[in-house]
Chain A
Amino acid sequence: MVFLLEDLFDVKDIDQDGKKFDNVSRIQALSQTYGLELTIDINTEIYPMKIFDRFSMALSTNLRKDGEPDEGVYDQSGVETFADDFEYVMHGKVFKQYRKPGETEMSVFVSFGGLLMHLRGDEQQLNKLELDTKVYLLMRKN
Chain B
Amino acid sequence: MYSHQPAAPGQPATREAALNGPLDRRMGTTDKSLTCTTCHEPLQTCAGHFGYLKLTLPVFHQGYFKAIITILSCICKSCSRVLLDPDNYSSALSFMRRVQDDHLRRAAKLRAITEECKKISVCPRCGACNGPIKKIPAGGSRYLMLIHDKFAKHEEQKLEFHSMLAAEDKSFSLTKRSQDMKQAIGKAAQDLDPLTVLDMFQRIPDEDVEHSRPEELIITHLPVPPCCIRPSVAMGVGAGSNEDDLTVILSEIVKASESIQDTMDKGGSIANIMDCWGFLQLKIAHYFNSELPGVQQQLTMKSSGKRKIMRGFAQRLKGKQGRFRGNLSGKRVDHSGRTVISPDPNLHVRQVAVPVHMAKILTYPERVTSHNLVRLKKAIDNGPDIWPGATHILLQGNSNDRKDLRYYPKKIAKNELRIGDIVERHLIDDDVVLFNRQPSLHRISIMAHRAKVLKWRTLRFNECVCNPYNADFDGDEMNLHVPQTEEARAEAIELMGVVNNLCTPKDGSIMIAATQDFLTGSYLISRKNTFFHEAQMWYYCSFTCDAKEDFELEPPAIIKPMRLWTGKQLLSMLLKPRKNTRSLETDVEVLVNTELGESQYEKKSDNDIDKGRYMCPHDNYVCFRNSELMCGNLGKSTLGAGNKNSLFYTLLRDCDAETAADRMTKLAKLCSRWMGLHGFTFGIEDVMPTEPIKKAKAEAMQKVKDKCDKLIADYRAGKLQRVPGCDLELSLEQMVGKELDDVRNLVASAAKKELHYDNKVLVMALCKSKGSNDNISQMIGCLGQQKLGGSRIPNGFIGRTLPHFEMYAKEPAAKGFVENSFFTGLNPTEFFMHTMTGREGLVDTAVKTAECGYMARRLMKSLEDLSIHYDSTVRNSHGCIVQFRYGDDGLDPMLMEDDDGKPINMKRMIQRSCALLGCYGDEERSPANFTLMTEEQLKHFLDEIICRYRRAVAEPGSAVGALGAQSIGEPGTQMTLKTFHFAGIASMNVTLGVPRIKEIINASKIISTPVVEVPLQLDRDEINARIIKGRIERTTLGQVAKYIKQVFAPSRCYVVVKLDMQCVQDLQLNLSASTVKKAILSDPKLKVKEQHISSKGTDKLLIHPPHDGRSKESLHFMLINLASQLRNVIVCGIPTIRRAVIQSTEVKGGGNSYQLLVEGTGLQEVMATSGVKGASAKTNHVMEMQTVRERRREKGRRERRGEVLGITRFGLAKMKESVMMLASFEKTVDHLYDAAIHGRSDQISGVSECIIMGTPVQIGTGSFKVLHQTDPQDAVRPRRR
Do A and B pair up? The answer is yes
Please list the residues of chain A having a beta carbon within 8 angstroms of any beta carbon in chain B: 16-18, 20-24, 26, 39, 41, 43, 46-47, 63, 72-75, 83, 86-93, 95-99, 101, 107, 109, 111-116, 118, 120, 130-132, 136
B579 lies within 8 A of A73 (CB): yes
| Chain A residue with Cβ nearest B753 | A18
Closest-by-CB residue of A relative to B617 is A17
Determine whether the beta carbon of B579 is less than 8 Å from that of A118: no
Q: Tell me if A99 and B921 are in contact (CB < 8 A).
A: yes
Residues of A within 8 A of B729 (CB): none
Known: A39-B615, A88-B560, A115-B566. 12 other contacts (CB 8 A): A21-B528, A26-B617, A41-B528, A73-B555, A75-B555, A83-B559, A86-B560, A109-B615, A111-B623, A111-B631, A115-B558, A116-B631
Closest to A116 in B: B631
Whether B626 sits at the interface, judged by CB under 8 Å, is: yes
A-contact bits for B545-567, CB 8 A (1 contact / 0 none): 00000001111111111101111
In the complex, the chain B residue whose C-beta lies closest to that of A42 is B558
Question: Lowest 8 A-B CB distances belong to which pairs?
Answer: A113-B557, A114-B568, A113-B566, A17-B617, A131-B919, A89-B560, A21-B529, A111-B630
Find the B residue at minimum CB distance from A73. Answer: B552
Contact B617–A93 (Cβ < 8 Å): no
| Contact A88–B561 (Cβ < 8 Å) | yes
Within 8 A of A (CB), among B613-637: 614-615, 617-619, 623, 625-626, 628-631
User: CB < 8 Å: which of A90, A116, A136 contacts B615?
Assistant: A116
Asked if B923 lies at the interface with its beta carbon under 8 angstroms from chain A, I say: yes
Q: In the complex the two chains form, is B564's CB within 8 Å of A43's CB?
A: yes
Q: What CA separation (Å) do A67 and B1015 show in the bound complex? A: 74
* B609 contacts the other chain (CB 8 A): yes
Q: Please provide the chain B residues from 923 to 948 with a CB less than 8 Å away from any CB of chain A in the complex.
A: 923-924
User: B556 to chain A: which residues have CB within 8 Å?
Assistant: 74, 91, 113
> Is the beta-carbon distance between B629 and A116 smaller than 8 angstroms?
no
Interface contact A114-B553, CB-CB below 8 Å: no
**The residue from A97, A109, A113 contacting B565, defined by CB atoms under 8 A apart:** A113
**B629 — nearest CB in chain A belongs to which residue?**
A114
Residues of A within 8 A of B919 (CB): 130-132
In the assembled complex, the Cα of A79 lies from the Cα of B552 at a distance in Å of 19
Q: Chain A nearest CB: distance from B627 CB in Å?
A: 11
- The answer to the question of B526 belonging to the interface, with a C-beta cut-off of 8 Å to chain A, is yes
From B526, B617, B924, A114 is in contact (CB under 8 Å) with B526
Q: Are A114 and B557 in contact (CB under 8 A)?
A: yes
When the two chains form the complex, which single residue of B558, B628, B629, B924 contacts A46, counting CB atoms closer than 8 Å? B558
| Residues of chain A contacted by B623 (CB below 8 angstroms) | 95-96, 111
Q: Is B922 an interface residue (CB 8 A)?
A: yes
Are B528 and A20 in touch, CB under 8 angstroms? yes
Q: Which of A92, A95, A114 has the most CB of B within 10 A?
A: A114
Q: CB-nearest residue of chain A relative to B530?
A: A114
Given contacts A72-B555, A73-B555, contact A96 B614 (CB under 8 A): yes
Bitwise interface map of B from 519 to 559 toward A, beta carbon under 8 Å scored 1, else 0:
00000001111010000000000000000000011111111
Minimum CB–CB distance from A14 to chain B (whole Å) comes to 13
The residues of B with any CB-CB pair to A shorter than 8 Å are 526-529, 531, 552-562, 564-569, 579, 609-610, 614-615, 617-619, 623, 625-626, 628-631, 757, 919, 921-924
List the A side residues contacting B617 at CB < 8 Å: 16-18, 20, 26
Contact B557 A92, beta carbon cutoff 8 Å: yes
User: Which of A74, A115, A131 contacts B554, CB < 8 Å?
Assistant: A74
Residues A98 and B923 in contact, CB atoms below 8 Å apart: yes
Closest Cβ of chain A: how far from B707's Cβ, in Å?
30
Of the A-B pairs whose beta carbons lie under 8 Å apart in the complex, a sample of 30, sorted by A's number, is A20-B528, A20-B618, A21-B527, A23-B531, A24-B528, A43-B558, A43-B564, A46-B562, A72-B554, A73-B552, A73-B554, A74-B553, A86-B560, A89-B558, A89-B559, A90-B559, A91-B555, A91-B557, A96-B614, A97-B922, A98-B610, A109-B614, A112-B566, A114-B526, A114-B528, A115-B566, A118-B610, A118-B615, A130-B919, A131-B922
Nearest CB in chain A to that of B565: its residue: A113
Q: Are B559 and A116 in contact (CB under 8 A)?
A: no
Question: Which residue of A20, A73, A116 is within 8 Å of B614 (Cβ)?
Answer: A116
**Complex Cα gap A98–B923 (Å):** 6
Contacts A111-B631, A112-B557, A113-B569 given; does A95 touch B528 at CB 8 Å: no
Q: Which residues of A contact B567 (CB under 8 A)?
A: 114
B1086 to chain A, nearest CB (A): 73
* Residues of the A chain whose Cβ atoms lie less than 8 Å from the Cβ of B552: 73-74
Give the residues in chain B near A75, CB-CB below 8 Å.
555
- How many angstroms from the CA of A96 to the CA of B552 in the assembled complex? 24
What is the CB-to-nearest-CB distance from B601 to chain A, in angstroms, rounded to a whole number? 14
CA distance A72 to B572 in the complex (A): 14
Interchain CB contact under 8 A, B565 and A132: no
- Alpha-carbon gap, A74 to B625, bound state (A): 20
**For A109, what are the chain B residues with a Cβ–Cβ distance below 8 Å?**
614-615, 630
Cross-chain contact B630 with A87 (CB below 8 angstroms): no
**Minimum distance in angstroms from A27 CB to a CB of chain B:** 12
B630 near A114 with CB under 8 A, answer: yes
If A20-B528, A99-B921, A111-B631 touch, whether A74 touches B614 (CB-CB below 8 Å) is: no
C-alpha spacing A130/B569, complex, angstroms: 21
Give Cα A112 to B528, complex, Å. 11
Measured between alpha carbons, how far is A133 from B1211 in the docked complex, in Å? 66
The docked-state distance in angstroms from the alpha carbon of A131 to that of B558 is 21
User: B561 is contacted by which of A41, A46, A73 (Cβ under 8 Å)?
Assistant: A46
- How far is the CB of B935 from the nearest CB of chain A, in Å? 18
Contact status A91-B559, CB under 8 Å: yes
Q: How far is the CB of B130 from chain A (nearest CB, A)?
A: 93
